[in-house]
Amino acid sequence: MTGSASRVEVALLGGGIWAREEHAPAIEAAQNYLSFKAVYSRSAASAHSIAENISSPVDIYSEDTENRFDDLLQRSDIQAVVVSLPIGHQSRFIKSALLAGKHVLSEKPVAENIEEAKALINWYRTEINGPTWTVAENWRFLKSYEYAAKELKNLGKIIGFQGRQHDVVPENWKFNLTEWRRNPIHQGGYLLDGGVHYVAGLRLLLGEEPGNQIASLAAFTNQIQPYLPPVDTADVILRTRAGVTGVFQISRGTSLRADEWTIACSNGWIKIENETVTISRNGEIEVVTIPNERTGVPPEIRAWGQGLVEGKTRSEQEPEAALADLELIELMLKSGSQGGIPLECSHQDVLN
Amino acid sequence: MTGSASRVEVALLGGGIWAREEHAPAIEAAQNYLSFKAVYSRSAASAHSIAENISSPVDIYSEDTENRFDDLLQRSDIQAVVVSLPIGHQSRFIKSALLAGKHVLSEKPVAENIEEAKALINWYRTEINGPTWTVAENWRFLKSYEYAAKELKNLGKIIGFQGRQHDVVPENWKFNLTEWRRNPIHQGGYLLDGGVHYVAGLRLLLGEEPGNQIASLAAFTNQIQPYLPPVDTADVILRTRAGVTGVFQISRGTSLRADEWTIACSNGWIKIENETVTISRNGEIEVVTIPNERTGVPPEIRAWGQGLVEGKTRSEQEPEAALADLELIELMLKSGSQGGIPLECSHQDVLN
């Protein structure tokens, strides 16, 4: 138990669904490490909608009142911010907060594209001393994935992998009603947004052993649903440096339903379907349920808070890990837009 | 019931496992159309091993006795032959039999590679008048696939597809003990041999509607098991002319097990696992078992026999249909050997 004296005081930037349903309660729940002090959103109304859902008394900042973002940054008591804004707006908030000396945890993807991510990471690594920038990827905190990754080490060499993420985004889904989702300016629409989660899951399962990094991929992409531009479907082949091959299928516009990764090893295989982990060891099948803490956001925020208190950052929250995820999705979209040409990866030398 | 007077008299060329377990009993069972008269194999011993398993009194021909293949061809009573020989030896038997005026049903694949298949088909189409050459593909006679193909027409537009064919060939498996399998001179080893079946299944399911032909594919290939050269695994992405994307995963060296095709449509999907057909129609799931006649060989031989008696050939037994299957596997192997480059199809304008 860490005393309240050493807790880090935090502001949440964002007034959207994910901020309200995931980040705000998770910050509040990480009370051993974090003290929730303020919420900023473009409008006071959305900032208040966050504040109403938590019990901590938080100050409200917004662009339509006198207490604006710059005022928040000038508060010396607030040491850290969680950035939960649309993909296209995140980088300037990340930069401003770091320049103001605040620690930052920004939501995935790390940036809209590889070039911007590289520029931002390079700027952070060369210009910023003191405050830390980390990137949220809640799939790295799913207990079912952590469990599977551990069990995989007992099944011999990895010899193959396959993933299916199949669903349909209804035209009137709550997440689909926001303008930045309906007319995405970021590449890939939902494929980027969801895709980085799933490849984060794959990278966690493949582990950090030499040769298990993805070396190249090729993809065909398609837009099945007219209301899901620019593409809603990708079928991808991937190959590791060691030459092991696999597939990744993702669609947000299909009649199929799937949420699964399967990793084949020389002595068995493991399949993860959300909380259900099926393990085949030398022909014997075992099915176990490993409950996740919601979406993985609560343990993610807790781990970040603990790191701040202890003055450490976790390798899986470094922006380079998020860049590795983003790279796989960007190359997949790029290969798809170029008729399926195979593309080589350049940013996979990271811890998960 | 067709009287015995109009039956076609048939010889079987081949003394291997498939000839003994599938072709010979299927020829005998197609007694409405076929009369089983002779067996040829390289050795009299293997020819006798076929004859012992059937009740028809057949004459034996072999290269190690006085009754050789040429003697068989000179028999005017024998009007047709089934060629069930290793891939690399088939074409000269096909040619000799056709030149001797015999109808030919040769086992898939149509030839070792696209170039040889094209040359043989071109020779047949320009030089041969009278006798017919057809190519066996038993998957086109699997009732579960026929049923699924029919049901798919009620589910709206095809929007995606995915297939997994996963198994391991044990080092001492009966089919693996023959020299031509252990040290394949034909491309792809088991991937060609089994692969043409599975893509025949896919082509049957995609149907003959304009736009549903495979237009291009890309693949990564791998050799997992040292005793299964040259490759035992391929992960493939495919795209139809209409732009619909899908995947095909095939391995004979994996710890995974699968035998499935799933076709996604706008109003549901159908998954086939051997005889089990699962249909989702507007969210309602139905599972039906559609028993196949063994491997599909009995109805295949029967259909061929009926065609001979009636003087017709069936479109799905024309060599061009088998070339369409072979092309997909050859391009898959070629793409794999060239690092996953996407390749365009040229021979998919055929009926199934």
Task: Give Cα separations from B262 to A163, A264, B29, B100 (angstroms).
Answer: 15, 21, 33, 44
B340 and A265: CB-CB below 8 Å? no
| CATH dotted code for B4-137+298-313 | 3.40.50.720
A159 and B221: CB-CB below 8 Å? no
Chain mean position to CA A4: 29
pLDDT tens, B279-291? 999 889 999 999 9
ipTM: 0.93
Rounded distance, CA B203 to CA B308, Å?
Answer: 25
Nearest to A159 among B239, B255, B339 (CB): B255
- Residue position matching structure tokens 């938080």: A58
B245 and A339: CB-CB below 8 Å? no
Task: Give Cα separations from A264 to A9, A221, A323, B220 (angstroms).
Answer: 44, 25, 26, 16
pLDDT tens, A294-331? 999 999 999 999 999 999 999 999 999 999 999 999 99
pLDDT at position B3, please?
45
Contacts of B266 (CB under 8 A, 6+ apart): A255, B155, B156, B157, B159
| Dihedral sign computed on CA atoms, order B133, B136, B137, B141 | positive
User: Which of A222, A267, A333 is best to mutate for the B interface (most B CBs within 10 A)?
Assistant: A222
Cα–Cα nearest to A130, from A334, A341, A316, A313: A313
Residues 238-257 of B with CB under 8 A from A: 238-239, 243-247, 249, 251, 253-256
pLDDT tens, B86-125? 888 999 999 999 999 999 999 999 999 999 999 999 999 9
- Specify the DSSP element, H or E, that contains B103: strand B103-107
CB A213 within 8 A of CB A345: yes
Length of chain A: 352
Cα–Cα nearest to B168, from B252, B260, B258: B252
CB pairs under 8 A between A and B: 120
Separation in Å, CA of A162 to nearest CA in chain B: 9
A18 interface with B at CB cutoff 8 Å = no
Q: Which fold has domain A140-295+324-344?
A: Dihydrodipicolinate Reductase; domain 2 (3.30.360)
pLDDT tens, A129-156? 999 999 999 999 999 999 999 999 999 9
Amino acid letter, B137? E
A243 and B222: CB-CB below 8 Å? yes
Beta-bridged to residue B8, according to DSSP, are B34
Q: What does each of the 352 residues of chain A score in pLDDT, given as a tens digit?
A: 444 458 999 999 999 999 999 999 999 999 999 999 999 999 999 999 999 999 999 999 999 999 999 999 999 999 999 999 988 899 999 999 999 999 999 999 999 999 999 999 999 999 999 999 999 999 999 999 999 999 999 999 999 999 999 999 998 876 666 666 666 656 788 899 899 999 999 999 999 788 999 999 999 999 999 999 899 999 999 999 999 999 999 999 999 999 999 999 999 999 999 999 999 998 899 999 999 999 999 999 999 999 999 999 999 999 999 999 999 999 999 999 999 999 999 999 986 6
B285 interface with A at CB cutoff 8 Å = no
pLDDT tens, B165-181? 999 998 887 666 666 66
Please state the domain extents for chain B.
Answer: 4-137+298-313, 140-295+324-344
SS3 state of residue A352: coil
Chain B residues within an 8 Å CB radius of A241 = none
A249 and B222: CB-CB below 8 Å? no
Q: Which fold has domain A4-136+298-310?
A: Rossmann fold (3.40.50)
Concatenated DSSP letters of A122-175: HHHHHH--SS-EEEE-GGGG-HHHHHHHHHHTTS-SEEEEEEEEEEE--TT-GG
Identify how many contiguous H helices and E strands chain A contains and give both numbers: 11, 15
Nearest to B251 among A160, A262, A339 (CB): A160
B67 interface with A at CB cutoff 8 Å = no
